[in-house]
Structure 1
Amino acid sequence: MTHPRPLRMVHPAPVPPGADEFEARAAAAVARARAWLPTLDEAVFDCYLGHLVRQLEPTSEADPVAILASLICFAGVHLGQGPHVRAGDDKHPLLVWPLIIGHTNTGKKGSSWSAARRLIADTDGEFVTVNIKSGLTSGEGLAQRFALDDEAEPDPDAEPRDLRLLAFENEWGGVMARMKREGNSLSHILRAAWEGGDLSTLTVNARIAPESHIGILAHITPDEFRAKLSDADMAGGTYNRFLPLAVAWSKALPDSVGADPGLVCSLAVGLAERLDAGGRLGVLDLAGDATGLWRELYLEFNADTHHPKVAQFVSRALPYCKRIAGIHAALDGTPAIHAAHLHAAAALVRYAIDSARALFVDTATPARLVAWIAEAGPTGRTKKDITVGFFGGNKKAQEINTLLEPLLAAGTLTRTTVPRADGKGGRGTEVYTARAPDPTNSTN
């Protein structure tokens, strides 16, 4: 379903001295920050929440994918336990756990939450106060929030308990460290929480917590995640509950003060109305126009053709696709998931799969590196440029050499040695050049 964008008048601001040079340098810096990202299908924004993101993103340096994922997580939690989808005999709540993966500083992970949180706060301020918390520490601590009071007498006239919780963890590496401690049951409890179910424990201080509705929004850097993730973590099944999304700086806005308050307020009114209506829905079935597409996606997301670590990470791609599509449908106020909802959801799931591949396999890096070197023209890039400018100092020299040698052997890159500028002897500076791709000679 399409959501038209409102027309807004844009008045050009005075151009300060040196603006052209700044814009060029800023664009190059952003391009370097985004070089590791996989290709994104813009269909991810063909949904109501995507329509909101498109209006917020012009004034944010955050990756629009990160803002979208934050809003999807929030919406799935806020809608509550009523609207849900089914996969076989399993009931799936509309819970989505984005794992926002971006480099320090250039990932702009915090900026994405700031943009989303402003809209969330205007939509439902009480929800922000009561239902958004941080500090996951132990399984018992999480279960305690949903535990029943054994001594309390049941009150038939009492309001239903609010079982919604959005756990925002902007330092997921710390949570990973806590989960590794001996006796910590957080991993086990999280696996149960993703099902939207029973968090009861049978420890010495037993807790009866038969219901929950928990969303998790986690931030981490690629290096920290790879360093702290063990094979046991992957095999245990905790991380196939998360939706990995690679993000980066989207644009340089040194003078931005964020979205206009009037715009945020206007968007929040509409979102609040849709959340209220969607929360009254029940099971969300596939509409007639979605059944054929769902069969195609069923085969696509069940394919076992991934790198082992990628396969572990994305093994729940199919139910995630239906959960996300269910959120889109609920916000459109329809009890049926249409093809448009599936298209947007599938595009985001594919991006998550490609993000996992970029994280663990890095198959697209050579092409991006060649393109980045080609941008420098005949001047080329030095080894230091490549190490610091492209990889941000996060890759060892031997790994870079292993990447460069096949490109040199194939003639994709050319390496020359430039004598030292001071005229002294010794080894000169290695410079790498590449020709920009010829668009008229493309086979695509």
Structure 2
Amino acid sequence: MAFKELAEVASFKDMAYGPIGEAVKKAMPYTEADEIGVYAAALSMYAAAINGTVTFRRRPVGVWTVLVGRSSGGRKGTASDTARAMLDTAIDDFLFDRTVSGITSGPSLVNHLWKTEVDSLTSRDGVDGRVLLMEEEWAATLKRSRRCPTFSQQLRTAWDGKAIRNITKGKGEEARQEVTRPLLGFHAHITPAEWTRHVSSDEALGGTFNRLLPVMVERSKMLPSRDDDDESDWTLDIPRADALKEAYEWARETPRSIGFTKQAATRYDELRWEIEDHLAELPEEVACFMERTTEQVSRVAAVLAASEMKTKISVKALNAAWAFVRYSMATVEYLIKNAGETGRRIKPLSEVIRDALIACGGEATSTELHAKVKNRTNAAGLKAEVEAMPNVEVVKVKTGKPGAPKVVYRLKTEESEVKPEPQDQGQDPGRPTLRLVEPEPAPRPARRTRTRATNKPKTETQRPKTQRSKAQPTRAPRVPESNPFADLLSL
């Protein structure tokens, strides 16, 4: 599927709906961003702003989007800046006060959401834990977050709206941080190459990436350059979405539960069948990115309905939401196909650990193994991953020294176990081996050796070590009369 063919799956005209769609249309003459990119960013920001008071069947309405485009031609930052300027006056100071970035671990995520709630305890509106996590350099964040074994799990739980918590060292309530109802929004940027490198089907199977809606974006047009002496911010030209201000106040004044009209409920059931039939035809490594498609459709539709100050989702709003999610599904298929054509594949961590153990001869200490995989995970993450691997055993070896025993990771399967074998048993023919070859000793000239005097006299049958086979000189050496070997030397 070529990039331009994505527009044939679903166009902006199909998905643009309500005040959000109208606001994007009015902003497009003043920006070079992709209209679908601006729409995706606006959906994510507005959903994060109304999350909490607006729900869909007691579920959060957070819409988590990712803009996927090239570094220069994608205009990802321009799309987000356009959406931010468009919503600036509509949602008060939410984007300024509640946007955060750089969170790369589960404990730091829980800590930030918990502190946000604590800081709002004395506010006029009471507890308010809304946060928008916005990562414009998502690839760098993905690299660092792999070192925390709990980050993906906490992120998934936050999307579901279920309680997340930290249990820190110590006793008492101060050692426990708990957010019973996380209100987290998410929006990120990444290039197609970075997606291929850092987004794996393993994480999608675990449920992390199928909670995201990636959309491919590209520059919509090239606007004339501004005058050199005009230093004003270009986003000031973006028309503000004043129509959304009233809808935002309506959404925040009291809890709103969004549902379907009778006709929309029937249409939703049709979409469920259509989505499940489509996923059944896809390979698992592709379908795992789309397993929450039906809920994604309902969340987008709920946000569109709330933007119209309605508690019932119409068929038109549902079809617009389906068009947006369908475009995201086509984006995933494009990215995975493109990754296969370029031959790039990111090894799962379990595979990296197995290869590292084979390179170490079938076993390695925890310190040695972590040195080889430290760019993928930390010590705790390594331990958790190894414990989940059926072909690796953990052995504790006593060193005979004070302290804890040494932890050794060892491959259990015979085919992958590469331990040193004695030379008479042979080596694995599939692996090159090194053998120390002893050089033959070169002949050396005879060297005169000195005899060490001993107190034990030698018998007549013994010959001195220094005696040579050739004839001795005719003159015997002078020896003191007290020498016990005098008789032998005179022979």
Match of 2:165 in 1: 200
CA distance in 1, matches of 2:82, 2:115: 36
Q: Which has the larger radius of gyration?
A: 2
Identity of aligned residues (%): 26
Aligned residues of 2:90 and 2:248 also touching (Cα < 8 A): no
| 2:179 alignment partner, SS class | coil
How much does 1:107 deviate?
A: 0.8
- 1:229-378 pair list within 5 angstroms: 229-255=199-225, 261=236, 264-265=239-240, 267=241, 269-279=242-252, 280-303=254-277, 304-362=280-338
2:62 to 81, 91, 95: 95
| 1:122 alignment partner, SS class | coil
How much does 1:221 deviate?
A: 0.6
Match of 1:47 in 2: 18
Let me know the Cα RMSD of the aligned residues. Answer: 2.9
| 1:123 alignment partner, SS class | coil
Match of 1:62 in 2: 33
Aligned residues of 2:26 and 2:239 also touching (Cα < 8 A): no
Q: Which 5+ residue runs of structure 1 have no aligned equivalent?
A: 1-32, 366-393, 397-444
How much does 1:169 deviate?
A: 0.3
Match of 1:186 in 2: 151
How much does 1:149 deviate?
A: 11
Aligned residues of 2:104 and 2:142 also touching (Cα < 8 A): no
CA distance in 1, matches of 2:127, 2:244: 23
Aligned residues of 2:81 and 2:235 also touching (Cα < 8 A): no
Higher relative contact order (CA 8 A, sep 6+): 1
Write out per-residue CA displacement over residues 92-144 of structure 1, whole angstroms, 9 at most, x where no aligned residue.
Answer: 21101001111111111011011111122232452122111111221111111
Normalization by structure 2: what TM-score? 0.61
Kindly provide the amino acid, as one letter, of the partner of residue 31 in structure 2: S
Match of 1:84 in 2: 55
| 1:93 alignment partner, SS class | coil
Aligned residues of 1:198 and 1:210 also touching (Cα < 8 A): yes
Aligned residues of 1:190 and 1:238 also touching (Cα < 8 A): yes
Report the CA distance shift for 1:258/1:67 in structure 2 as closer, same or farther (over 3 A): farther
Report the CA distance shift for 1:274/1:159 in structure 2 as closer, same or farther (over 3 A): closer
Report the CA distance shift for 1:298/1:262 in structure 2 as closer, same or farther (over 3 A): same
Match of 1:212 in 2: 182
Report the CA distance shift for 1:309/1:47 in structure 2 as closer, same or farther (over 3 A): farther
Report the CA distance shift for 1:172/1:262 in structure 2 as closer, same or farther (over 3 A): closer
Kindly provide the amino acid, as one letter, of the partner of residue 146 in structure 1: L
CA distance in 2, matches of 1:306, 1:343: 23
CA distance in 1, matches of 2:274, 2:59: 20
Aligned residues of 2:66 and 2:188 also touching (Cα < 8 A): yes
How much does 1:50 deviate?
A: 1.0
Write out per-residue CA displacement over residues 276-298 of structure 1, whole angstroms, 9 at most, x where no aligned residue.
Answer: 11333522111123122111111
Q: Which 5+ residue runs of structure 2 have no aligned equivalent?
A: 170-174, 227-231, 344-491
Aligned residues of 1:147 and 1:207 also touching (Cα < 8 A): yes
- 1:165 equivalent to 2:131? Answer yes
How much does 1:340 deviate?
A: 0.9
Match of 1:74 in 2: 45
How much does 1:301 deviate?
A: 1.8
Aligned residues of 1:169 and 1:218 also touching (Cα < 8 A): yes
- 1:409-420 pair list within 5 angstroms: none
Number of residue pairs aligned between Structure 1 and Structure 2: 326
Report the CA distance shift for 1:307/1:161 in structure 2 as closer, same or farther (over 3 A): same
